[in-house]
Amino acid sequence: MNDDVQRLPISVTVNGDERVLEVAVHHTLLDVLRDDLALTGSKECCLVGECGACTVILDGRTVDACLVLAVEADGTSLTTIEGLASEGRLSPLQAAFLDHGGVQCGFCIPGQVVSAHALLQDNPHPTRADVDEGIAGNLCRCGCYEQITEAILRTAEASGR
């Protein structure tokens, strides 16, 4: 195999579990999530940071995993789509996506849900404009934008009290 590829050890907390692994220095975080950790919920589309299908939360901030080198993630804490539902129960946000029709083919949805999750963490009471802007980096060719926005706003309202 490609033994001349340089590898470095990294340690990352992924959805609460500490993972120690050796990664190729040129591999992106997305490569490592999908190929080394078998976390395929984060999707591959544009690979240039334009579509948001690979969105994950790194130390509290959303990033496109295709733009981050895996070695740069050393010592960080990550949340991926796999970390949002607990014990088979959907988070209120995930449930709202389904109830408001925010999902069609689903390919962009992990990225959308992660972006929306981070948005609500930063800003529990977003306006419609905040939401549109918050998910502007997540393309949906099925065109679920209106419904996704609705789902996010309703989730915020329900948790607002």
Compute the least distance from the CB of residue 161 to ligand FES, in Å: 30
Nearer to ligand FES by Cβ, of 54 and 84: the residue is 54
For ligand FES, give the closer residue by CB, 2 or 27. 27
**Near another protein in 83-102, by CB under 8 A:** 84-85, 90, 94-95, 97-99, 101
Q: Under the criterion CB under 8 A, does residue 72 sit at the interface with another protein? A: no
Is 14 among the residues that bind another protein (CB under 8 A)?
no
- Shortest CB 26 distance to another protein, Å: 8
Contact residues for ligand FES, defined by CB under 6 A = 44-47, 49-54, 64, 66, 103-109, 140-142, 144
Residue 146, both tokens: 């209106």
3-state helix/strand/coil string of the chain = CCCCCCEEEEEEEECCEEEEEEEECCCEHHHHHHHHCCCCCCCCCCCCCCCCCCEEEECCEEEEHHHCEHHHHCCCEEECHHHCCECCECCHHHHHHHHCCCCCCCCCHHHHHHHHHHHHHHCCCCCHHHHHHHCCCCCCCCCCHHHHHHHHHHHHHHHHC
- What residues line the site for another protein (CB under 8 A)? 1-5, 24, 26, 34-35, 38-48, 50-51, 53, 80-82, 84-85, 90, 94-95, 97-99, 101, 103-110, 113, 131-133, 135-149
